[in-house]
Amino acid sequence: MSLTPTYFVNIAVSVAVVMWAATLHEVAHGYVAYRCGDPTAKNAGRLTLNPLKHLDLFGSVILPLVMALLGGPVFGYAKPVPYNPNNLRHRRRDEVLVAMAGPASNLLQALLGMVVWRIWLQADPAFLLASSGAGYWVCDVLTLYVWVNLILCFFNLIPLPPLDGSHLIAFFLHGRALDGYYKLSQYSMPLLIVLLYLLPDFLHVDPLGVYFNATAGSLYDLMMYTNLPWGLS
C-alpha cells in the first residue's frame, strides 16, 4: 500500500460518498413515512438533505473510513430517522414501504450515477483510459458512487433486524413463524459480525462476499460495462 496524497484523497472521497448516500437513504425513509401518515421525522427536522442532521459518528465516518483503509467494500449508515409506525394509515403495508424506501433510494442514486457516467463517457471516451486529470477523477467518483449505493442497497436488503430487509420478510410471516422470526432477531447483530468479520478472517469463508458479488457486483457490471465502445469494456 502506497501512502500517497492520492491514496488519502481516495479515502476521503469514499467516506464523503458514503455519508451522502446514507443521508439520502434516511431521508427516503422519513419522507415515505410522512407520505404514509407519520410526521415524526418531519417534526424532528430530519427531512433535510443537510448531512449534518443525519450523520452518525461511527456509522457515517469511522466505519466507512476503516473499511476503506482495509480495502474492502465501503458502506456505512446514518442515524435512523425517528419513526412511529402507529401513525401509519395502513400499518402492515406502510411499514414495508417505509423500509424499502431506503434501499430504493440507493438504487436510484446508482442509476443516476450510471447515467451521468455514460453521458460523460459518450462525450469523451478517452477519459476512461486516463490515469490522471479531471476526467480520471470524475470517472473515479462516479464509479465509486454507483458501487457504494449498490452495496448499501443490497446490504440493507439482508433479512436481519435492524436492516430494512427484515421488514419485507416479516410482512410475509404470520403467527408462530413471525414470533420465531422476532425471537431470532435478538441474535442478528452478533450474526452480522460473524458474517462480516469472523468467517472471512478466521475460516476464510465469505458468504457476504459471495452475496455482494452475485447482487451488487453483477448489477454494477451490467450497469457500467455493458455496451461500452470497443476497447473500453
Catalytic residues: 26
- The x, y and z cell numbers of residue 86, run together, are 402507529
Select from 10, 49, 6 the least CA-distant residue to 26. 49
Annotate 153-191 with three-state secondary structure: HHHHCCCCCCCCHHHHHHHCCCHHHHHHHHHHHHHHHHH
Identify the H or E element spanning 31. helix 5-35
d(CA 27, CA 93): 19
Query: 213 with 154: CB under 8 angstroms?
Result: no
CA torsion through residues 132, 135, 138, 142, sign: negative
Which residue, 21, 27, 36, 160, is CA-closest to 82?
27
Burial of 175 (0-12, 13-18, 19+ CB in 10 A): exposed
Whether cis (ω within 30° of 0) applies to the bond prior to 162 is yes
Q: Which three-class secondary structure state does DSSP give residue 105? A: helix
